[in-house]
Structure 1
Amino acid sequence: PRAFAHPLALVVAAQFLGACAEEIGWRCHLQPLLRTRFGPVTASALVGVLWGLWHVPVFAQEPAYAAGFLLATTAMSVILGLALEGVRSNRLLLAGGFHTLINLGMLYVTDETTAATEPMLLLGAASLAAAVLWIAAARRTGRAAPDEIIVATAPGTR
């Protein structure tokens, strides 16, 4: 994209299709499944760790780069998980749009070809700060109670 060999619309469309394909698994299947057992923050963080690990080539880079990437995916997953809490329709479009914006930002703002560690660590730290603020706001407004493990019990066994 930096060489302008591809039209921006094509790059955006490809990023959106790829992001939606991933989000079918992450936010439309796994997130709701984990929410039957865990609170919104824990479920979102677990999805974020798996989302980061999904990008295996990242771990061929310096350990600090990989750690920044994993921190970023986990923190952004918490933000997205809390934002989608209670959303029942258009979940894929919202998650895919968010994921697309992340991918486009990394594609056009950071230089992924050199795998520079400092920008990735900065992205991870900024994502963590945003997630902490998002969690605090969600708890203050009552949209996300403190996490707890939900114990599945058969009816009448209490």
Structure 2
Amino acid sequence: MASGLMLVVQPLTGLPGEVLELVQFGPAVGVAVVALVRPSQVRGLLTAGGARGPRGAVLLSALAIIAVAVAGSLLLHGSVPVRDPNGLVAPFWVVAVAQFVGACGEEIGWRCFLQPLLRTRFGPLGSSVAVGLLWGCWHLQIFAAAPAYAAGFLAATTAMSVLLGLAWERIGAHRLLVAGGFHTLVNLGMLLFLDEESGAVEPMVLFGVAGVLVALPWVLAALRPARTDRLATT
């Protein structure tokens, strides 16, 4: 409901969506509403964390997703539609900061609240897949595009959710900053190097494939200890 309201309000503000989309704060509003009912549970989920882990690797994975998608475009066409940062509707640093704020507005709901909540029932992998699909479907506009476009986007959100969910098993505090940074790097990379906003199918499919490929090592690394434990008990 909050997301729908913000979509209505956005045009009235005159704020360019390229700088910041108010709808990104919908998940944060959802968390705030739940906090009014169950404050201690929300506080526990938002502050939960394990040992210090590979935060830098998470951020590098965001860059890797864009790099793989760009490499795919180069292989197919020999060129990439690079956008000049000076051609944005606002200075690049303003766009980057606003994108980070908006990304944190989303991630406080997806990665900091819903994902750890579902993990208590479905485990790291199951909860990550569920949140990735919900996160993707929340972007309702993708279903107005070609089926392959929507499939590529859902593959990307699910893969990125799995990557972050498995990384959370090894990351302690500052999860919001890491998730927000990851989300921001991906968004900026798409803004500058991919032409998916035009509705073109190929860039979105490349984005989905890139997300799956970059998430795969995280999945294999997570499965390796479990396989080792099983061998040790036989």
TM-score higher than 0.5 here? yes
2:197 counterpart SS class: coil
For residues 189 and 195 of structure 2, the distance between their equivalents in structure 1, rounded to whole angstroms, comes to: 10
In the alignment, which of 93, 114, 119 is matched to residue 198 of structure 2? Answer: 114
Give the equivalent residue in structure 2 for 1:43: 127
1:125 Cα offset (Å): 1.3
How far 1:12 sits from its partner (Å)?
A: 0.4
Structure with a larger share of its residues in helix:
2
Q: Distance in 1 between matches of 2:174 and 2:145?
A: 35
Deviation (angstroms), 1:5: 3.2
Q: Which moved more, 1:51-60 or 1:65-74?
A: 51-60
Higher mean alpha-carbon deviation, 4-13 vs 82-91, is at 82-91
Q: Which amino acid aligns with 1:101?
A: L
Structure 2: any 5+ residue segments left out of the alignment?
Answer: 1-17, 19-82, 228-234
The total of aligned residue pairs comes to 143
| TM-score, structure 1 normalization | 0.84
How far is the alpha carbon of 1:134 from its aligned partner?
1.4
1:35-72 Cα offsets, whole Å, 9 max, x none, are: 10012111111110011011111211111101100010
* TM superposition shift of 1:27: 0.8
Say whether 1:10 aligns with 2:94: yes
Q: Does residue 1:136 correspond to 2:220, yes or no? A: yes
Unaligned 5+ runs, structure 1:
147-158
- 1:68 — aligned with what? 152
Residue in 1 that maps onto 2:111: 27
Q: SS of the counterpart of 2:198?
A: coil
Q: Secondary structure at the match of 2:121?
A: coil
Q: Which amino acid aligns with 2:192?
A: Y
